[in-house]
């Protein structure tokens, strides 16, 4: 890692030139930064989720041949909003899918317990039936009556022991039958409750999927109205915004200043993530052919031997937070106030991430998007 702010800035500029497309990812104009102890509400976000469906029309004067730089900047912001919305919905989809997966496994486990419990109850009933038949074959007299009719004292004592044993066994048998029956009833209730929750999460998953498709379709429709030259100018605007944000971050005093080295697991995670460069972003994907942002980071850390939550929001909630200036390669940077995007820090002010639909896994400047905070999976 560079040994000073000037070195970091130089490195980032070289990176931006070498990877022109890398900086054109979800960037917003202005300074991207994070506080030393970030909280979801303390960091301003240039790109925020709208409360209503955004206006997808181009400015009135923006025809395929006349869009000005200002009008293209408005288009860029609208695209940022749409793709941000799609990213938020993707996180909701991933969370619902993970919960549905866990509950499906729990339902399967409960079903297996019900089957085993029913088999056990059947066996207990067979034993109870055999005991009843044995008593019937004994002449219809209960053991206590046969005991009192005995003339032999030893037989009396032996019989008393057998009666006590038989009574104890019968009591235990019926108590076990009762417990097994109660267990079966509880398993059935639990399975019913899990099934209800599963249906709820499946509905949430379907709703999120619908929203993702709507936002991506709207963004592509907006992009399709631009001519080739305008698309090239739009891409240039995205690169410039990302570069400016990265430069401002490097000079903000919040960029890493030390030469910290990655842990053994961190090195493995970085190696995995960078090996995926060039593979397409696909929402909900966890590899090996495609990824979304948290799919890439969760699989990279799984490959390094450290399981972490599936979504960027849960990664932010559950993993150990570290100061932005102390982050090491392998740490995860969480972006936007709603924790809707995540990338992996690889050192020298750079990240590897899966940006958004239509893009591939790439390297970009760590400050090219507004940083919420940093978490360390192996802290």
Residues 231 and 41: their CA atoms lie apart, in Å, by 34
Q: Please tell me the distance from the alpha carbon of residue 286 to that of residue 275, in angstroms, as a whole number.
A: 14
- Measure the CA angle with vertex 83, ends 79 and 84; round to 5°: 110
Strand partners, 345: 351
**Among 200, 191, 221, 251, which Cα is nearest to 75's?**
221
CA distance 155 to 158: 5
| Residues 272, 301: Cα–Cα separation, whole Å | 8
Q: Six-digit token pair at 362? A: 């790439």
Residue with tokens 């090219």: 368
Residues across the chain:
379
Nearest to 314 by CA among 107, 102, 105: 102
Q: Determine phi and psi for 141, rounding to 5 degrees.
A: -90, 140
- For residue 23, give the DSSP letter: G
**CA-closest candidate to residue 342, choices 26, 17, 23:** 26
Question: Burial, 60: exposed, middle or buried (Cβ in 10 Å; 0-12, 13-18, 19+)?
Answer: exposed
| Structure tokens, 178 | 């009762």
The distance from CA 31 to its chain's CA centroid, rounded to whole angstroms, is: 28
CA angle at 341 for the pair 336 and 345, rounded to the nearest 5°: 100
Residues classed as catalytic? 293, 341, 353
Beta bridge partners of 332: 344, 375
Residues 6+ apart with CB under 8 A from 9: 247, 250, 251
């Amino acid at each position: 890692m560079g040994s000073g702010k000037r070195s970091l800035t130089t490195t980032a500029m070289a990176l931006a030139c070498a990877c022109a497309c890398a900086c054109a990812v979800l960037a917003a104009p202005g300074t991207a930064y994070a506080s030393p102890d970030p909280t979801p509400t303390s960091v301003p976000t240039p790109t925020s989720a709208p409360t209503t469906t955004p206006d997808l029309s181009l400015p009135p004067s923006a025809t395929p041949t006349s869009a000005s730089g200002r009008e293209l900047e408005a288009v860029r912001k609208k695209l940022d909003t749409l793709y941000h919305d799609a990213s938020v919905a993707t996180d909701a989809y991933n969370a619902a899918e993970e919960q549905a997966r866990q509950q499906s496994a729990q339902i399967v486990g409960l079903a297996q317990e019900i089957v085993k419990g029913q088999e056990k109850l059947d066996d207990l009933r067979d034993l109870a039936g055999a005991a009843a038949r044995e008593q019937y074959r004994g002449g219809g007299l209960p053991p206590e009556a046969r005991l009192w009719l005995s003339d032999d004292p030893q037989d009396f004592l032996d019989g008393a022991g057998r009666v006590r044993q038989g009574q104890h066994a019968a009591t235990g048998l019926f108590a076990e039958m009762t417990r097994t029956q109660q267990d079966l009833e509880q398993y059935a209730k639990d399975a019913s409750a899990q099934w209800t929750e599963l249906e709820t999460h499946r509905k949430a998953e379907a709703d999120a999927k619908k929203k993702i498709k709507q936002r991506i379709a709207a963004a592509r429709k907006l992009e399709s109205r631009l001519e080739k030259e305008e698309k090239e100018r739009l891409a240039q605007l995205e690169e410039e915004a990302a570069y400016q944000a990265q430069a401002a971050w490097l000079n903000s005093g919040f960029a890493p200043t030390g030469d910290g080295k990655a842990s053994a697991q961190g090195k493995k995670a970085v190696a995995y993530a960078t090996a995926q460069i060039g593979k397409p972003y696909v929402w909900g994907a966890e590899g090996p052919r495609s990824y979304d942002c948290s799919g890439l980071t969760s699989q990279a850390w799984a490959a390094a031997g450290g399981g972490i939550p599936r979504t960027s929001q849960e990664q932010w909630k559950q993993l150990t937070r570290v100061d932005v200036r102390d982050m090491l390669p392998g740490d995860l940077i969480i972006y936007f106030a709603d924790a809707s995007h995540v990338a992996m820090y690889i050192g020298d002010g750079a990240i590897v991430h899966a940006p958004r639909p239509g893009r591939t896994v790439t390297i970009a400047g760590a400050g090219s998007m507004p940083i919420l905070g940093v978490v360390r999976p192996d802290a």
